[in-house]
Structure 1
Amino acid sequence: MSTGGQMIRVGVIEDHPLYRAAVARVLSEAEDIELAPVADSVPAFAAAREPAGCVVVLDLKLRGVTDSAAVQKVVGMGHKVLVVSAHAGQEEVLGAISAGARGYLSKDADGADILRAVREIAAGSTYVSPALASFLLNSTRGAKSILSERERQVLSLVAAGERDADIAEAMSISVRTVRSYLERIRDKTGRRRRPDLTRFAIEEGIT
């Protein structure tokens, strides 16, 4: 199967050498897939300057740029992300999807599952393995549910325009703790700038 007769360009970002080689082999043996850069980190993949539009099989737990920030970075390059991770809990799945991933598989997936997901995503669809789909179905506000109560409180104060010092005073915590909460919120949501966090809070009803 191919997308309109076109070969599907697929890259891989995975820091485990054996798994990286195995995924690259599965992809390269498929008749409708052309292997794009294979790298052990997001910066290494970025350095290859792959033109926008390929599907990228991405592990979440990488050195350097990791988790939702890794998804956001690769999506920002113009690629469609399929996360394949050994970490497949509700928080990881919802965080990756909210950061822009088009699909999510656990590393229990076999080669056929990866190829099926890649083809669906290349064709413009999304793909989440049935075992993980319940996380999305059970969460009407998936991204909101991955934040703790304290993180939602911090985010609501950010959306209200409060500075870090004001948030610390309002919550009776230190500025350092506020910034720690903010970093976790950024990692979970994939939003880095304060205006983007404010927009996210409004979209998710965290105000």
Structure 2
Amino acid sequence: MTTEPTRVAVVSDCPLFRLGLAQVADAAPDLVPTAEVGSVDDVEKHLDDVDVVLLDLQAQPSHLSAAVHRLAGQGAKVLVLCSGLQADIEPAMQAGARGCLSRQAGEQELVAAVRLIASGCAYVSAALAVRSWSDATFHLTEREKQILRLVADGETDHGIAERLGISEHTVHSHLDRLRDKIGSRRRVDLTRFAIAHDIVP
């Protein structure tokens, strides 16, 4: 049984970059570029034939998030290419983007990100996540670091409570504070943060 290829629309206001993105998609055996356009207006005509929209616009964060919101509101799975500034990533994700990919990403990461987005997962380049975290100014307590290490080891909330001799409710409180500080609710991002900041080896 063969699976249908993932149909990719490339939206970029840079013609050369648009061509490069389409060529990467075309070279992957399970991806097929179905549209290569320079604006959101143009891609809207093709959304019925698209699984993932690759969006690369040199625009202010507010304009970029408006474009994401417009496409996501029509059911499009949007993967945004961005510079890596936190001001770019957060508004795009809040507007409905399924992921953010660094413009410095290689072909393999691009293809992997498109596949994940198409399958219903979210994706943020590790380089983007680390850069946005490094801009944050906060202090982690020793207890929060202990919990991060255990999260990175794959422990459940219940397992963390048992290991540290605290209640599961207390674990939840610490995790909520960690998620607020780091800016992500996902355990995989907590793990990435712990590795990036040498909290775990």
Same structural fold, with TM-score higher than 0.5 when normalized by the shorter chain: yes
Q: 2:89 aligns with which of 55, 72, 93?
A: 93
Runs (5+) with no aligned partner, structure 1: 142-207
**SS of equivalent to 2:46:** coil
Q: Distance in 2 between matches of 1:33 and 1:114?
A: 11
- Per the alignment, residue 129 of structure 2 pairs with 133
Kindly state the Cα deviation for residue 62 of structure 1 after the two structures are TM-superposed.
4.7
Residues 130-153 of structure 1, C-alpha deviation per residue, up to 9 Å, x if partnerless? 122244861258xxxxxxxxxxxx
Q: Is 2:63 the counterpart of 1:66?
A: yes
SS of equivalent to 2:48: coil
Q: Which of 100, 108, 112 is equivalent to 2:104? A: 108
Of 4, 8, 22, which residue of structure 1 is paired with 2:20?
22
Distance 1:79 1:31 in 2: 22
Distance 1:67 1:21, change over 3 A: same
CA RMSD, Structure 1 to Structure 2 (Å): 2.3
Counterparts of 1:96 and 1:123 in 2: how far apart (Å)? 20
Query: Matches of 1:72 and 1:33 in 2, distance apart?
Result: 24
1:54 has 2:51 as partner:
yes
| Count, aligned residues | 135
Q: Output the TM-score relative to the length of structure 2.
A: 0.61
The gaps in structure 2 that reach 5 residues or longer are 134-178, 186-201
* Structure showing greater Rg: 2
Q: Matched residues in 1 for 2:90 and 2:23: separation?
A: 29
Letter in 2 for 1:122: A
Question: Could you report, residue by residue, the CA deviation over 1:35-76 in whole angstroms, capped at 9, with x for unpaired residues?
Answer: 121110101111x3330761000014259x931001111112
| Kept after mapping to 1: 8 A contact 2:11/2:57 | no
- For each residue in 1:63-110, what CA deviation from the matched residue of structure 2 results, as whole angstroms up to 9, or x when unmatched? 9x931001111112211000012x321111011000010110121011
Percent of paired sites with the same residue: 38
Partner residue, 1:79: 76
Indicate how the Cα distance of structure 1 residues 66 and 29 shifts in structure 2: closer, same or farther if over 3 A, else same.
same
Q: For residues 126 and 68 of structure 1, what CA distance do their matches in structure 2 show?
A: 17
